[in-house]
Chain A
Amino acid sequence: MSVIHPDDNQIQEYVNSSTCSAAVRRHIETCPECMQRASDYTALVARLEKEPGELVDPALYQRIEDQFISSGTQKFFSVFDLSVFGFMCAAGLILALYFIKIPPSLLSGIKVDITSMYNEIAALVQAAVEPNATVLFFGFISVLAIAGIMLFDVIIKKRTLPMHILA
């Protein structure tokens, strides 16, 4: 009757001693051939677990630490923050167009009639928003909340907009 020995994976499981079945364990511990293989695997694993020595100059880490602490690294808003910021700007513009009306006399000296252009756009916005006054109210509250959060980020967390990207 031929004996079926555990394969390499089962012997490695035995060496890991984690998920090895009782039957496999019993076989390995009673079979000199398999015990030898397990012993060889154990020796290999022991060698692989050797920690390497210093791999880089230890002084490098002190330099990295000093540079990071002394650097004026700015904390930038994330892409998500910037998206929210964009939404806030758009919402703020709509609110401005809805609420603010420019007197025709204010910009009368300028060749291009900005006042009438502005008022025309504002009239369109008002016509679109008027039926949704509730939505407008909550939009206004949301914009205020987001503005507050971003102001908190700027003052407390000292974050800035990543203007270097635009540059």
Chain B
Amino acid sequence: MNSIYTNERILVRDVLDKKREAVHFFIESYKRLIEHIIWRMVRRRTEREDLVQDIFIKIFASLDGFQFKSKLSSWIGKIAYNTCLNHIQKKKASLAADVMPEEMDYDSFFVSDGSMPDTECESQEYKGILFREIARLNETYRTIITLYHVDNLSYKEIGDIMGLPGGTVKSYLFRARKKLFNTLTSEYMGEIQCQ
């Protein structure tokens, strides 16, 4: 992390002044959050890139109106989440559950460290079941799981992004995990402990 930009006000000011270093840092800092939200809500690769561009355009266009009343990440996440929702509603875009299996992005879902899946203590079958079960959850649950477990956001931060109270976020997270847990333990006994 660049120590110059630990202060969000300075970062926003420099991005608005179009300083390359600031713009680069800004994009690098928030691209994963945006990607994760899109990834859970829209599964088609072709649509993802358009959405990433749309979201950054919206962010840059409205950045000078950011009031610093919330964390910058929450504000950005909210724009990303609402843009995805609008995209889904407008174009009837495919949710994960609607995507044909051949279009599913299994690799990006499971492999992060470059290691071969076979070296991990889990089978393709387990991956497939977990993926399918997550895909069967509604987009609210999927997004909460991602923001909580992958982006390590708090209940409140997730609530700010999704327009939900923190308690509701926690409740949804527990429900989603319970649903996954019940299915995985019943359909895939033994493998889950293999980690």
Which residues in A have some Cβ–Cβ distance to B below 8 Å?
A: 8-9, 12, 39-41, 43-57, 60-61, 64-65, 68-69, 73, 75, 78, 157
Contacts and interface: CB of A to CB of B under 8 A. Distances in A.
Query: Mostly helix, strand, loop or mixed at chain A's interface?
Result: helix
Nearest to B122: A47
B177 A45 contact: yes
B69 interface: no
Contacts of A47: 122, 130, 195
Given A47-B122, A69-B23, 7 more contacts: A12-B178, A44-B184, A45-B149, A55-B35, A56-B35, A61-B27, A68-B60
Contact of A69 (B18, B53, B112, B181): B18
Contacts of A41: 177, 181
Contacts of B28: 61
A157 B12 CA distance: 13
A57 B112 contact: no
Contacts of A52: 35-36, 39, 108-110, 112, 150
B27 A64 contact: yes
A54 B185 CA distance: 29
6 contacts: A12-B174, A39-B193, A45-B177, A52-B36, A64-B56, A69-B23
Contacts of B150: 48-52
A46 B195 contact: yes
A57 B192 CA distance: 32
